[in-house]
Amino acid sequence: MSINPQALVNSLAKIGANVEIGAFCVIESDVVIGDGCRLESNVTIKQGVVIGKDNHIGTGVVIGGRPQHTAVKGVCGTVWIGDHNVFRENVTVHRAIKESDATVIGHNNYLMVNAHVAHDCKVGNDNVLVNNVMLGGHVQVGNRVNLGGAVGVHQFCRIGSLAMVGGLARVIQDVPPFVTVDGLTGRICGLNQIGLRRSGRTTEEIRILKEVYRLVFRSGLTWKEILKKLEDNYSIGPGAEMTQFLSATKRGIVSERHSVGRAPLRLLEDDNANENNEEEEIRTIRVNVG
């Protein structure tokens, strides 16, 4: 164990073997830090936090802050963090609202600069949260999810496994597993095929997921009819995770991005050859804008 003499570590905190704690860190009581963790300078670990082994916690990170919620009174919940996570500079993670609940972050996640995980969130394994990602309260994130820079996720939304959400997207409904969300529109624009291949999904499995995608987003069926067909045809196998996810949605799901087709665009043409200084000619052309 290596603790910088300028760090403040409460005597009631439980610090594992081979832990490094940098200058100006503050470790409060009722904290557990597992073996092999490395805390850079100015890290604050507040009460009610349990951290697993081999986590790298960057400068200015605050884990265990009280929930940003007006209903919080008295003792609040805890934070549970697994193994092999990276928290880059100024990441914040808040405790759950109720004493019996926990904010949970699993294993092998990479949280980049200034990312925020609010109270009662449940984050799975192998996820990447890019700079300035904001997870509202009670958000659930599956496994192998990639959230681009400055993505904002509304409270109580769910992000399915292997989803990829583009930077600056505003997520206000559930994002199903395996899809890509366009950052500009915040709409789904297809399957995350690169992520699926990297995860080891076979060509046949991806083909089945394409069938499921077409059924959900392009069949024209009602929501009740879609769920019935999913349960009848994809309750097991590669489509089962999508079926289970959609069946459990309470907020609805993000819709698919559709091309707006062709539309007239009026352009101003400056005729430099016009010696009589007549009015500039206006011509209308048709362009693809979707």
Question: Which of the residues 137, 142, 166, 186 is marked catalytic?
Answer: 137
Q: How far apart are CA 220 and CA 230, in angstroms?
A: 14
For the question of residue 116 being annotated catalytic, the response is no
For the question of residue 258 being annotated catalytic, the response is no
* Long-range pairs for 284-288: beta carbons < 8 A, 24 or more residues apart: 286/262, 287/262, 287/263, 288/259, 288/261, 288/262
Question: Which of the residues 58, 120, 136, 166 is marked catalytic?
Answer: 120
Half-sphere exposure of 70 (CA within 13 A, CB side): 0
Pairing of β 188-191 and β 179-181: antiparallel
CB 168 within 8 A of CB 151: yes
Question: Which of the residues 94, 107, 116, 119 is marked catalytic?
Answer: 119
Largest CA distance in the chain: 89
Q: How far apart are CA 190 and CA 155, in angstroms?
A: 24
Q: How far apart are CA 278 and CA 211, in angstroms?
A: 58
Pairing of β 262-269 and β 62-65: unpaired
- Joined together, the tokens standing for residue 194 give 């690169």
For the question of residue 120 being annotated catalytic, the response is yes
Q: Residues, the chain, total?
A: 290
Q: How far apart are CA 44 and CA 60, in angstroms?
A: 7
> Residue 35 corresponds to which amino acid?
D
CB 245 within 8 A of CB 176: yes
Q: How far apart are CA 86 and CA 100, in angstroms?
A: 26
Question: Which residues are identified as catalytic?
Answer: 119-120, 137
